[in-house]
A and B are shown apart, each in its own frame.
Chain A
């Protein structure tokens, strides 16, 4: 009996101690879901300085944080559980801290990563006069191109550091599998071209004929070819040069361009460059007929099946 009383007293003491500092609970909560379409992902990735995806409409995440003692200040911190793999998903959040009595915005905490390491959001002294506050939370995903296709789930917690009282909600991310081939060059009307214009450089042409060294590119509005896929099986790109008498003369990276293959056995983790315009060359033997020679080059990309 005496032992039970002691235990009860101890529990009360602990409970009393934990009742100090602060309390956190949800005013509104639910699953935060990023059901990402391929189009939204591609546009976010292509958006310079704005590579973000935002969650689907749903219940807002709103916290109430209440101080418990003027002598024992709380510290509110946040962390997430991780998305369950090595997938580098970058979850960010923005917080608006509002006085719950008069609805005035006390301060905001601008977009910042929600990491698996607890991070302090604010402490009680930052809130005036022991005010109970409402914290409105917004989320976004920062896109780097390294995100892998799949379904991911993480739990985001808000807790009072001093007494470990916490609330949590889930964040779900669904990323589609995609494959994108991208030509990067000058944004001008018309096709990207790589030219070998030696009409005014006979000597150079003759030197190429005599030496067997490929002619270099003289002009191009194409800078490079890039590819991106987020699937573990990787990609294969095949270079197809149209059927012309000079088909086998067009070189790429030191060998005939036609039939060349570029492949990976894994995801690209963003866009990777396969080659640049200056990697082309043209082999001449002196038997070329005067005039304009045109190649059609097709880059054919598939995800490895």
Chain B
């Protein structure tokens, strides 16, 4: 790296450009030493002459799941079974490991995962797979059978997740390091509703204008089963004519929880006064309606 070394400026992708200050560029081995503070140099030279960081990824870790969601209904005490297919189009065989997990959603709909059996309405403790580890042949698939035994005292909807993880073989890395296993994994969402114990109930808790171009609806599921939403938000002008319809997304609201859904007004909505009419359908039956006068500046 002599005095004649050239600085190579890599074109930056947009997120990098956003993240870095104007005029910055990624540092490459060809970059010349600019002028770090002397104490910094000393500290660095003492500390390190070699840095080799390796982020490693599974080779051809193509993995698929079908269906990615199971919605089962069973009687208390009953054991039911269902299947899902784990598949790959990889040219080499893949070792797959399975793992149960709990999950939940926050009010904004963000997923959060937890250890199996740690949440109150976890399905994981009652789920069994016919194989915890298996080999997928090249371009092949494996039907995985799940058995769920419903506890006698269970009620409402329980839910869980089964992850299927690609386990690549160990590998030697340059410099004598040992390769670390890399995983790519897909999840199978499982809902089990205990028949005869369902308690339904839902409310449109709030319907408000979040900002100039965003509406928000807060739906609460007071029942003990999962509900899914659908429907529309109608924008009516001052004459009462529907000028726009916004689709309510197909999202779940877990039992005894609430969910906020936001709706961005389309660009075509002209400034003025409107009435937004929320017509939100509960998949278990029922319609949640709300009305909101809004001004679009």
A204 to chain B, nearest CB (A): 4
Question: A176 with B67: in contact, given A288-B48, A290-B51, A294-B177 (CB under 8 Å)?
Answer: yes
The segment out of A17-25, A92-100, A113-121, A180-188 that lies at the interface is A180-188
Question: A296 with B103: in contact, given A215-B27, A304-B251 (CB under 8 Å)?
Answer: no
* Residues of A in contact with B, size category: 35 or more
Q: Does B22 contact A (CB under 8 A)?
A: no
Question: A196 with B87: in contact, given A253-B15, A288-B48, A305-B252 (CB under 8 Å)?
Answer: no
- Bound complex: CA of A305 vs CA of B182, how far in Å? 25
Q: Does B186 contact A (CB under 8 A)?
A: yes
- Bound complex: CA of A193 vs CA of B55, how far in Å? 6
Partner of B180, one of A37, A218, A296: A296
The segment out of A72-80, A135-143, A156-164, A205-213 that lies at the interface is A205-213
- Bound complex: CA of A38 vs CA of B168, how far in Å? 23
- Bound complex: CA of A80 vs CA of B189, how far in Å? 37
Partner of B54, one of A182, A201, A254, A293: A293
Contact indicator per residue, chain B 149-179, by CB within 8 Å of chain A (1) or not (0)? 0000000000101010100110101111111
Please name all residues of chain A whose beta carbon is closer than 8 Å to the beta carbon of B31 when the two chains form the complex: 201, 203-204, 207-208
Please name all residues of chain A whose beta carbon is closer than 8 Å to the beta carbon of B66 when the two chains form the complex: 37-38, 176-179
Partner of A250, one of B55, B179, B184: B55
Contact, CB under 8 Å: A195 / B250 = no
- Bound complex: CA of A38 vs CA of B177, how far in Å? 39
| Closest Cβ neighbor of A177 among chain B residues | B67
Q: Which has the most chain A C-beta neighbours within 10 Å: B28, B103, B168? A: B28
Contact, CB under 8 Å: A182 / B27 = no
B255 to chain A, nearest CB (A): 13
Q: Does B52 contact A (CB under 8 A)?
A: yes
CB neighbors of A among B1-56 (8 A): 1, 5, 10, 13, 15-16, 18-20, 24-37, 40-41, 43-44, 47-56
| Closest Cβ neighbor of A44 among chain B residues | B89
- Bound complex: CA of A233 vs CA of B177, how far in Å? 42
B172 to chain A, nearest CB (A): 9
Contact, CB under 8 Å: A213 / B26 = yes
Please name all residues of chain A whose beta carbon is closer than 8 Å to the beta carbon of B34 when the two chains form the complex: 207, 210-211
Contact, CB under 8 Å: B25 / A303 = no
Q: Does B236 contact A (CB under 8 A)?
A: no
Contact, CB under 8 Å: A203 / B61 = no
Q: Does A286 contact B (CB under 8 A)?
A: yes
Q: A209-B36, A253-B13, A301-B186 are in contact. List 12 more A-B contacts (CB 8 A).
A: A42-B64, A45-B89, A177-B67, A180-B186, A181-B64, A190-B171, A213-B25, A233-B251, A254-B16, A254-B18, A294-B179, A301-B187
Please name the 7 residue pairs, one residue from A and one from B, whose CB atoms are nearest each other, closest first. Answer: A254-B19, A210-B36, A38-B66, A201-B29, A180-B64, A302-B187, A192-B57
Residues of B within 8 A of A (CB): 1, 5, 10, 13, 15-16, 18-20, 24-37, 40-41, 43-44, 47-69, 85, 87-89, 91-92, 103, 105, 110-111, 139-141, 159, 161, 163, 165, 168-169, 171, 173-187, 189, 249-252
Cross-chain pairs A/B with CB under 8 angstroms, 21 sampled: A38-B67, A176-B66, A179-B68, A182-B62, A187-B60, A191-B57, A192-B61, A194-B56, A195-B52, A202-B1, A210-B36, A210-B37, A216-B27, A222-B57, A231-B68, A242-B180, A254-B20, A292-B54, A297-B182, A298-B165, A301-B185
